[in-house]
Chain A
Amino acid sequence: MSAIELKHIIKNFKTPTSNVEVLKDVNFSADSGSLSLVLGPSGSGKSTFLTIAGGIQTPTEGVVTTAGKNLEQLSGKARDALRLDNIGFVLQSYNLVPYLTVGEQFKLVDKIKPKGNLSHEALEALLDDLGIANLVNQYPASLSGGQTQRVAIARALYPDPAIVLADEPTAALDSPRVAIVGQLLADLAHKHNKAIVVVTHDVRLEQFADRKFTLLDGQLKEGAPKYAA
């Protein structure tokens, strides 16, 4: 069974003057133990695709099944609980709480999900791998873009989710850091049997992907885009 499955997803955004169709009959599935890469230019609907897959947004039409559950049939509270227990988000805007230090971002996870998170040792190892172990007492405002992005990745992985959805996780990183993050995501898929879905326009991540998709003008197709190397 797929960890995430999207069937015939359509997403429209209505404004007083227009009706924009952002996703057009998108079908997608991601299995545990694989890293799926969705490539596409800005404005192609990647973030919308990811938030619908993670249950943050609801589609206009279609069915989303995550961790074996049809999200449409879940209440808002149940969707929150499903996300909390199963999905780690790495969001484009980093999404760190500004008044918590890096260390406290993880404590907050402990407060809302007391069980099933990484052990102290595993968290230290993760922070070491990402090169941010020395930042635990820093507030997000004092971090560089790259550091913030790596903290956001660590925060998403800390609850030990079965599914990781990442939106442009390497946008602010240099190539060596991209390699580290790419390898980390691939290891999470292959060694820890997690389903990893990355939406990005960063072609440097292609080498780590098991499956590649292209999202262009709201349409998803399997395979790397033509502009990719």
Chain B
Amino acid sequence: MYLSLKEIWHEKLRYGLIIAMMLLVTYLVFILSALANGLSQQNTQAIDSWDTSRVVLAKDSDINLSQSLLTSQQTKDLNLGKSQAYVGTIGVVATSSKHDEIRSTMIGLDWDQYIGKDMKLVSGHRAKSDHQIVVDTEFKDKGYALGDKVKLSTKGKRYTIVGFTENAKMSVAPVVYGTMNAWRTLHNLPNTFTASGIVSKSNNFKVNTSDLKTYSANTFIQKLPGYSAQNSTFTFMIGFLFVISLIVIAVFLYILTMQKLPNYAVLRAQSVPSRTLVITTIAQALILVTLGLALGGALTAVTAQFMPMGVPMIFSPQLNVAIVIGILLTGFLGSIIPIRTILKVDPVTAIGG
């Protein structure tokens, strides 16, 4: 540790550049991970807020809520308990004369069922009539206020915003919660259609008839349009970033070690044990990576403050801990690659003559 710190202190420019490189790698991983996490959460926020365990959909819907329609004939014999709720969904564009239009997901609810009952509001109240809606706080961020009237289709009636709720996004669009009648109206469906599907927060609820099928929440989420593709894209990007980081860090440390071989030969000639040199190399790599992580983390925190509201960047403590461990491990792996070379350093090369 003594030699590691002294060398870094003496060679400030060289090590400063290496730390800057580590900082950039760390920064990129933090930002990409936060974006991936944010995007992933914005796909499923509403579903997560319902504590969803099971989803019942029409069998021919390809596990897609917006493709599923349940008729009253199919649901008449179902006995929904306190842990189940009907949901109807349709994509809409919320327009207002005063504010920008917002592409949204309209969710129709029976407000006497658990989703409507348990909904936590930031302000306002639950929908009490068919022309009242509760919307995600993104509307508030974009200037909408309680009492504002919005259209959810090019023709038809206006709906009044009566409440705001947090964490209500589905497929990266803010959710507009209304009544089942409002959903049917927007969908141009008669009363013979009950909902798009049934959501249950209980694991025990299962409906398997000739027309309906029950899916786990995970299966349902994986089949959300674009969700798997987005997630796997980000997972691959971050995975490749880690691999590339490992290669870059390893190459840097290898070149650094090669440049230091004459110094190591000097130390070996001075009877400094090889073990000390190995520990020095690993310690130095970990110091550089730790400094890069700390500075990269700080830069990420500053960046997060200045990110536009629309950018879905969400930091997760667990994810950040995993990144820190991953990058430290990457630095450690990079530092052990030149160890064989260090162990073979011949002090005679330092002696000359």
Contact = CB atoms under 8 A, between A and B. Distances in A.
A93 B271 contact: no
Interface string A71-100: 000001100100110010101110111111
Interface in A85-134: 87, 89, 91-93, 95-100, 104, 107-109, 111-112
Contact of B276 (A56, A98, A112, A139): A112
Interface residues of B, number: 23
A109 to B, nearest CB: 8
B267 interface: yes
A193 interface: no
Contacts of A91: 269, 350-352
21 contacts: A47-B351, A47-B352, A47-B353, A51-B351, A56-B269, A56-B347, A77-B273, A87-B271, A95-B270, A95-B351, A97-B3, A97-B270, A99-B9, A99-B10, A100-B6, A100-B10, A104-B6, A111-B2, A112-B272, A112-B276, A155-B270
Interface of A: 46-48, 51, 56-57, 76-77, 80, 83-84, 87, 89, 91-93, 95-100, 104, 107-109, 111-112, 139, 155, 167-168
Contacts, number: 71
Given A51-B351, A56-B269, A111-B2, 11 more contacts: A47-B351, A57-B348, A76-B274, A80-B271, A80-B274, A91-B351, A95-B350, A99-B10, A99-B11, A108-B270, A108-B272
A100 B348 CA distance: 21
A167 B273 contact: no
Contacts of B351: 47, 51, 56, 91-93, 95, 167
B237 interface: no
A56 B348 contact: yes
Contacts of A97: 3, 263, 266-267, 270
Interface string B227-268: 000000000000000000000000000000000000100110
Given A98-B263, A99-B7, A92 B352 contact: yes
B263 A89 contact: no
Contacts of A47: 351-353
A139 B272 contact: no
A108 B348 CA distance: 20
A97 B4 CA distance: 12
A100 B307 CA distance: 44
Contact of B6 (A89, A99, A112): A99
Given A80-B271, A83-B271, A99-B11, A93 B350 contact: yes
